Structure 1
Amino acid sequence: MDLRNNYSEHIYYQNSLQHGGNLEQEAKRLGVHISSLIDASASLVPFSLSSPLHRCLINALKDLDLKIYPDRSHSALREAIAKHHKVHPSMVLPGNGASELITWAGRDASQNGLSILPSPGFSDYKRALKCWNGKYLYSPLPLKWTSKLPQLFPLKPSKHVIWVTNPHNPTGQCWSRDSLELLLKTHSLVICDEAFLPLVPNGEKESLIPLVENYSNLIVIRSLTKLFSIAGLRIGYAISTSKRLQQWQELRDPWPLNGLAISIGKMIMTDEKILHNRINQVHKWINEEGPWLQSNLQNLKGIIAHPSSTNFQLIESSQSLAIFRERLAKKNILLRDCSSFEGLGENWLRISLQKKSDNRRIIEAMQQVLKHIFEEC
């Protein structure tokens, strides 16, 4: 079987965007409306905002939130986040999504020497380091793992800076807190990106946030984007030492968060019922749909489906999956190209979990595409 048997299709694929969530551009290229696409390339939950959060946004539009400058200190939002995580407000810094905070973490990383980037891994860490001329080295992760959770972090501790994603992107592995704490005892700086951790059933047990008060060399980054599917609002936050975050605050743009983001962020973090209801909804969905998707992916000829703790799964093949991905796109199904992940390539794709009906459409379309490819061989 050769999943790369059409040269013209392959040339397009090589020049396409290598990140998920490019809905507008993909819809235009495919000649379809955005609403007709199943976007399994971006790892967002498939649930809409609850009524209270909708009302929060509408009220924010009606009130002064758009007329006046946002509070530069984000004091109310900081206090809400701090109360939820049981830390002091000075140890919290809201940001314009996790990406802005990753950029500032890159500054501190570049000042602490060489950065170790586990690979495959999120390409934004490299971007952040390049902003500050930071030096980095890739450290390969094993590309075989079991479904047992949580798992031991497989890289040995060193004296350098290390960037950890928990659960890991793109593999979906969830690292244990105990194994990550060992890194804090030797590394000059540990940056832990927990953007997906609230989505993992029982995942909070592995969070490093409770360790921040004991380790001045720890930065934890969180995001509300994944859990609430609000990528357009850009809300993230960092938890670290007061001194470190005060430095970031003094150097950053004056108003990194807009009034709408601040309003909805405050409501999410203040109203525990809203937060817990969404977490329970997402965990139930992952517990039901995750095993179903993996089981059906494993039944596809020529595909290896790896276990995952969260809302995306990594698949591989012995052949390039470039044309496979492109033909699925022509069926209005977008999967995540893994070329931007160091150590992966055309033989790998990441599939984000969808609602029940769309997961079934994805499997059906994959079966059809594979059947046609085998017939062509």
Structure 2
Amino acid sequence: MKVDFDIHGGNIEKEARKLGLSTDRIIDASASIVPFKLPKKLNNYLINSIKNESIKSYPDRSYSEVKNSIAKWHNIDPSMILPGNGASELFTWVARDAGLNGISSLPSPGFGDYQRALRCWNASYIHNPIPLSWTNRNPQPFPIKPKTHVLWITNPHNPTGQLWSRSSIEKLLTNYKLVICDEAFISLTPGGESQSIIDLTKNHKNLIVIRSLTKFLGLAGLRIGYAISNSDRLLEWKEIRDPWPVNTLAINATNMIMKDSKMHKKRLNKIHKWVEEEGKWLHQSLSEFSTIKPLPTTTNFQLIKSDSSILNVIENLKQRGILLRDCRSFITLDENWIRISLQKRKQNIRIINTLKDYIN
């Protein structure tokens, strides 16, 4: 299946042009990015990075400084880290290794970019459905054990928002030649870090963990993520990838947020409080509708099932400057499903009030 990134979410500039609106008049609840501005200290640091002309030089191809700062945060060896141009670039290299190891299992519904990456290498994959009904107990055991060579896991899961338990994933590591765990949303999830499996990469060479910083920082346009795996694998990727995939501004932002633990933790606390408060408010507000049902979630987005097609509702809200996530790009989901990403309270109220004009 070809993934249509026009219904992927986050296409705010394109939609603004079509609607004849400025981007600041649009609520983009289709992309799961924190709605907060950068910490002032980090914002000023990036501005100064431009003023002092640090971007005139090529980035350090070894990425030594940024690898050291990430390594210190996660308490792992710097040789086990490879920064990337967002998580998506790293998925491309992950998919190369997946193809070399056999058939991949993609739990579905799931993030469509995994398929794009696997097709780059003509790698074989199959979809394995996960249950679309669950309780609000967290973390939950990973629900399937596909009989393939490679297993892709998203934790917490996208688009359902379920947080898988570390113990249930650890038990799977001996069952597969390669396990890929995408932890893009785990730092945004209250209690999420306790279920991370990053430290398991020290003793399991068949494990790759991918992290994204763009959602945490609210800088999707800067493109920064990193892979954590055994050093031999990452060295091989480094030798065959583009010479300078990560730009200097992304490196500088990562260095600062990883080195300044006070700022990092303050940011995390702010996000977790927001997810807990706004997540609860939005879920309760959505539960008051009779024709849609919000499913339990742990992170900054909510998956919602409608009794009937909700495409007209998505289009009507778009015309009023509110973008929701059309879930047809997720395998096993159809036009009855939408995903709403958390916003600040004012924007969340506007979303709920506008929904009331179109559904019961």
Q: Structure 2 length normalisation: TM-score?
A: 0.97
Counterpart residue number, 1:280: 269
Distance 2:278 2:34 in 1: 12
Counterpart residue number, 2:237: 248
SS of the residue 2:265 aligns to:
helix
Distance 1:37 1:308 in 2: 25
Contact 1:157–1:187, Cα closer than 8 Å, also in 2: no
Distance 1:87 1:236 in 2: 16
SS of the residue 1:291 aligns to:
helix
Distance 1:303 1:138 in 2: 26
Distance 2:266 2:282 in 1: 24
Runs (4+) of structure 1 moved beyond 2 Å? none
Superposition map of 1:55-66 within 5 A: 55-66=44-55
Counterpart residue number, 1:229: 218
Alignment of 1:269 onto 2:249: no
Counterpart residue number, 1:345: 334
Contact 2:105–2:146, Cα closer than 8 Å, also in 1: no
How many aligned residue pairs are there?
Answer: 357
Distance 1:225 1:278 in 2: 13
Deviates more, 1:59-68 or 1:102-111: 59-68
SS of the residue 1:233 aligns to:
coil
Alignment of 1:293 onto 2:282: yes
Counterpart residue number, 1:199: 188
Letter of the 2:127 partner, please give it.
Answer: Y
Alpha-carbon deviation of 1:200?
0.7
Letter of the 2:45 partner, please give it.
Answer: C
Contact 1:234–1:261, Cα closer than 8 Å, also in 2: yes
Superposition map of 1:76-87 within 5 A: 76-87=65-76
Alignment of 1:259 onto 2:245: no
Q: Deviations over 1:72-122 (max 9, x none)?
A: 010000000001101000000000000011110000000000000000000
Alpha-carbon deviation of 1:16?
9.1
Letter of the 1:356 partner, please give it.
Answer: R
Counterpart residue number, 1:175: 164
Alpha-carbon deviation of 1:159?
4.9
Alpha-carbon deviation of 1:368?
1.3
Counterpart pick for 1:154 among 122, 139, 143: 143
Distance 1:331 1:63 in 2: 42
Alpha-carbon deviation of 1:130?
0.3
Counterpart pick for 1:322 among 311, 314, 317: 311
Contact 1:158–1:183, Cα closer than 8 Å, also in 2: no
Counterpart pick for 2:122 among 117, 133, 152: 133
Superposition map of 1:21-100 within 5 A: 21-100=10-89
Q: Structure 1 length normalisation: TM-score?
A: 0.93
Contact 1:119–1:141, Cα closer than 8 Å, also in 2: yes
**Structure 2: any 5+ residue segments left out of the alignment?**
none
Contact 1:316–1:349, Cα closer than 8 Å, also in 2: yes
Counterpart residue number, 1:6: none
Distance 1:217 1:228 in 2: 29
**Structure 1: any 5+ residue segments left out of the alignment?**
1-14, 372-377
Contact 1:157–1:183, Cα closer than 8 Å, also in 2: no
